[in-house]
Chains A and B, each alone.
Chain A
Amino acid sequence: MDWSLIGLSFAAVFLSELGDKSQVAAIALGGSSKYPKAVFFGTSAALLTASLIGVLIGEGTATLFPPQAVKSVAALGFLFMGVRLLWFGDGEDDGAETTNE
């Protein structure tokens, strides 16, 4: 078991993710959501999948997920969540929605 390699990749990724957008998003969503655990599991699972795909298909990632298109959808997602929080407060407040059902 090559512990130094594990340690090195841990340190590299930890430092580069510290304060990066997904962590900032985790702070924002985790703080304002009623379901912080869902935010934690969602964020971790997303990051794990993304790096797993990176490991598995390597350079092919860019062809499978054209960066500009993918980032555009992500930007729209953040825009939607941000506007929802500013406008309606607790965005995922299902109390408001369950009244319709």
Chain B
Amino acid sequence: MTPAPAASPEDQDLSTTEVPPSHADNSEIANETPGPDSEGDISVDSAGLKGWWKVFASTYVTIFLAEIGDKTQVTTLLMSAESHKPWLVFAGAGTALICTSLLGVLLGRWLATRLKPRTLEVGAGITLLIITIGLGWDIFQGI
């Protein structure tokens, strides 16, 4: 079975990830991120859109479940209880959470420009397994 027709922009995306690292330095995000420039692509290419939502949904669900009842949430909860101004606490906490996520993703992108794609995948995979073990430990400890 031959894979999807060569026209698929995904194939091009994959091939750009194999470009030698030296090339990656200045082209950073433009290199493989489906940034604003590729929004046209996304609307044309429903597979890309589907992939986008799949990543969004899987990230959302996993992080949500990992974080609910976690220490940040407890901090927020205590602060809003003490201050009786839950919305102000939420405003501060929410901004902080957006900032830390943004920093995380940007750091990941930066690493992506430095490392070989496969190295990055293995590193990311191992990192996720370590998080799994951490969560397992939490569960084991009765949280």
What distance in Å separates the Cβ of B1 from its nearest Cβ neighbour in chain A?
7
Indicate if the CB atoms of A42 and B121 lie closer than 8 Å. no
* B108 beta carbon closer than 8 Å to chain A: yes
Using a CB–CB distance below 8 Å, which chain B residues touch chain A?
Answer: 1, 3-4, 8, 10-11, 13-14, 17, 32-35, 47-48, 50-77, 79-81, 83, 85-109, 111-112, 115, 117-118, 120-129, 131-132, 134-136, 138-139, 142-143
Indicate if the CB atoms of B92 and A31 lie closer than 8 Å. no
Determine the residue in chain A with the shortest Cβ distance to B74.
A54
Q: Give Cα A73 to B80, complex, Å.
A: 28
Identify which of residues 40-79 in chain A touch chain B, using a CB-to-CB cut-off of 8 Å: 40-56, 58-59, 61-62, 65, 67-68, 70-75, 77-79
Indicate if the CB atoms of A51 and B105 lie closer than 8 Å. no
Q: Give Cα A37 to B112, complex, Å.
A: 14
Identify which of residues 68-101 in chain A touch chain B, using a CB-to-CB cut-off of 8 Å: 68, 70-75, 77-79, 81-86, 89-90, 92-96, 98-99
A86-B63 CB under 8 A given contacts A31-B109, A48-B97, A50-B73: no
5 cross-chain CB contacts under 8 A: A5-B79, A6-B95, A9-B89, A29-B55, A42-B55
Contact partners of A29 in chain B: CB under 8 A: 55, 59, 105, 108, 124, 128
Contact partners of A71 in chain B: CB under 8 A: 65-66, 69, 135, 138-139, 143
Interface mask (A1-41 → B, CB under 8 Å = 1, otherwise 0): 11001111111111011101111111111111111111111
Using a CB–CB distance below 8 Å, which chain A residues touch chain B?
Answer: 1-2, 5-14, 16-18, 20-56, 58-59, 61-62, 65, 67-68, 70-75, 77-79, 81-86, 89-90, 92-96, 98-99
What distance in Å separates the Cβ of B7 from its nearest Cβ neighbour in chain A?
12
Report, nearest first, the 10 A-B pairs whose CB atoms are least far apart: A26-B104, A42-B59, A31-B108, A82-B128, A9-B92, A30-B108, A30-B105, A85-B125, A86-B125, A77-B62
Indicate if the CB atoms of B47 and A98 lie closer than 8 Å. yes
Contact partners of B92 in chain A: CB under 8 A: 5-13
Indicate if the CB atoms of B108 and A27 lie closer than 8 Å. yes
Q: Give Cα A71 to B3, complex, Å.
A: 38
Contact partners of B93 in chain A: CB under 8 A: 9-10, 12-13, 51
